[in-house]
Structure 1
Amino acid sequence: MRNSRNFPKCLIPLLGTSIISLILLLLTSQLSSKPSQTPLSQKPQLGFSPKHNTKPPNPPRFAYLISGTKSDTQRLKRVLHAVYHPWNYYLLHLDLDALPWERIELAKYVKSERVFVDFDNVRVVGNANVVTYKGPTMIACTLHAVAILLRQGKEWDWFINLSASDYPLMSQDDLLHVFSYLPKDLNFIEHTSNIGWKEYQRARPIIIDPGLYVSKQIGLFWAKEKRSLPSSFKLFVGSAWVVLTRAFLEFCILGWDNLPRILLMYYTNFLSSPEGYFHTVLCNSKDYQNTTINHDLHYIMWDNPPRQHPITLRSKHFDGMVESGAPFARKFVKDDPVLDRIDQELLRRSNGRFTPGGWCMGNSMFGRDPCAIYGNPEIIKPTVSSKRLETLLLKLLDPENFRSSQCK
């Protein structure tokens, strides 16, 4: 069955238990500027399962940016297969360090895949961006992708950025099912104002990213001078991986307030700006500072003290990934055996195939692809993995620690 909802035709260059109402009420009160006056003992218990006689809420839509660099074409395809769902939007970006034929190959693949053509929800950025490691061109690339998705992807609710080094730990049906019970003004972003060593290694140094004015990567330039911390706004730092609402990103791109633009100018000379820009905008905005959930929904392991890069995840980390309840994990190396285990045990997908969901109507007997025949993308069939995400969110939204973890 072909979906009648199409991604608009403005192509990017190159591709020519029973508490639905109660959870909403509780979370809405938590997100208000005034703390709830209801005693904690009288607050309802959260849950994400409807009554048997209650129609589940409509699923939300996610808009994904999946980015990579030279030699990442096959990795991007694998991540896309693992996170694909006809209900969502997907924008793929290979930076200018990738060879032109790699970008063409990716574009041809998107145009030739029947599911992508029928649902018309996958695009490749043709006018690729220079992305300098740790430079502001990284946040510029993300904002570019958001602007494209805002214009071409209608009605999506949350933006999620992934790289070729990321991988999902559950199906999109699991994610869509759980998020359909959440208010659509929650921003998932790991953040803190206790910047510690980052003050002297990130905030005070002044860097210049040549990628802002030349079309190749040549590294960062460092000024001899240092700068003081700002006094008109407070700095926040955290993870570069986010799940942000459409409303907040419209504020950043089309905003009626000048704060996003002022901070964008400040972060032009900030080392690793993706680890601070959105965090600082959110936590310095009275309209959005109470919408933050202090988690990036990723399973990431760090050395102690942390280094520049997280620990590469292997098969020995599999149980920790599952127990975390996070829907995504990083960082993985190409074709690591742990990815095959995730495919087999968590996603139930085979190599080169999509993660099956309610939209897949085929028979998987005798090794057949259940997504070879597909139907209504609004049919959501969560698996047991959704319970792990539910447990994580219940912990994050618990009244005991929800407010205390916001923008502190």
Structure 2
Amino acid sequence: MVHSALLLVSAAYLFCRSQRVQPIIVDAGVYLAGRNQFFQATEKRDTPDSFKFFTGSPWVILNRRFVEYCIFGWENLPRTLLMYLTNVMLPLEGYFHSVACNSDFRNFTVNNDLRYMIWDNPPQMEPHFLNVTHYDELVGTGVPFARKFKENEPLLDKIDDQVLRRWHQRPVPGAWCTGRRRWFSDPCSQWSNVNIVRPGPQAEKFRTYINQIMEESKSGNNSCKQ
């Protein structure tokens, strides 16, 4: 099977079956609207031996070939996993990971979700909130996304000012801005070709970062770990 691109499926480690797969979770919105998000059945179910369950980040990048496989499922694995994971806690953290790691796509995965986060050790349900003390490390990584932020977090203002060069309540300037920057005028109030794109320093860091994780994937360090 030939794949046109790699899959970014982060941290696809084996599920803890007794906690994440065997409990039967029911969407409470069907029965108890306005009360709980879900409730758990009193009994548990056995797990099949024909495939293994994997979990990871809910943010994934999937190539066309893999998405077609999930839709058509020529050997029925995607459909079987879809039915089984309908009643598990946080199915988005397991479905694509389990499909990829139980199929021929297992050798085309990359253990990365392109996000900067600070976790406890061992990780808890949510990462720490980021603040200005994390600025240097965050910007230095080259990753395009990060979480979590509190409302009106000063770190976001610092990123706007020093990375994006964005004026307050104004769009991020680009090569299409043809006006001169003055304290009383916005250079983007005059513009020509909006399709002009020139990579800045952070874009170059991002390219280096992507090249690095692609090289790591070629070394066999894929995300289907058991």
| Alignment TM class, shorter chain as reference | 0.7 to 0.9
Deviations 1:246-267 (A, max 9, x none): 4433443x43533333222111
Match of 1:187 in 2: 7
SS at match of 2:40: strand
Q: Unmatched 5+ residue regions in structure 1?
A: 1-30, 34-183
The amino acid across from 2:11 in the alignment is: H
Gaps in structure 2 of 5+ consecutive residues: none
The equivalent of 2:209 in structure 1 is 392
Q: Offset of 1:355 from its aligned partner? A: 2.3
**Per the alignment, do residues 372 and 201 of structure 1 end up closer, same or farther by CA in structure 2, a change over 3 Å counting?**
farther
Aligned partner (choices 173, 182, 186) of residue 356 of structure 1: 173
Q: State the 1:364 CA deviation.
A: 3.4
Q: Deviations over 1:18-39 (max 9, x none)?
A: xxxxxxxxxxxxx968xxxxxx
1:256-282 alpha-carbon deviations (Å, 9 max, x no partner): 533333222111111111111121122
Match status 1:232 vs 2:50: yes
Contact 1:32–1:290 under 8 Å retained in 2: no
- Aligned partners of 2:10 and 2:223 also within 8 Å: no
Per-residue CA deviation, residues 302-342 of structure 1 (Å, 9 max, x unaligned), is 11111111111111111121122211101111111111011
Return the alpha-carbon distance in structure 2 between the equivalents of residues 397 and 247 of structure 1: 18
Determine what percentage of the aligned residue pairs are the same residue. 42
One-letter code aligned to 1:395: Q
Partner residue, 1:324: 141
Higher mean displacement: 330-339 or 256-265:
256-265
CA distance in 2, matches of 1:284, 1:321: 34
Alignment pair present for 1:285 and 2:103? yes
* Among 255, 258, 271, the residue aligned to 2:89: 271
Alpha-carbon separation, structure 2, partners of 1:261 and 1:373: 52
Matched with 1:202 is 20
Tell me the SS of whatever aligns to 1:382: coil
Change beyond 3 A, Cα 1:256–1:327: same
| 1: CA distance, partners of 2:217 / 2:94 | 26
RMSD: 2.7
- CA contact under 8 A between 1:263 and 1:281: conserved in structure 2? yes
Opposite residue 7 of structure 2, the aligned amino acid is N
- CA drift at 1:392: 2.0
Alignment partners' CA distance in 2, 1:352 and 1:245 = 36
Q: Is the 8 A contact 1:396 1:402 kept in 2?
A: no
AA partner of residue 348 (structure 1): R
Amino acid at match of 2:95: Y
Equivalent-residue separation in structure 1 for 2:193 and 2:79 (angstroms): 41
1:221 maps onto 2:39 in alignment: yes
Deviation at 1:217, TM superposition (A): 6.1
State the TM-score, normalizing by the size of structure 1: 0.49
**CA–CA distance in structure 2, aligned partners of residues 328 and 265 of structure 1:** 31
* Pair 358,298 (structure 1): closer, same or farther in 2 beyond 3 Å: same
1:380, CA displacement in angstroms?
Answer: 1.6
Is this contact kept in 2: 1:193–1:234, CA < 8 A?
no
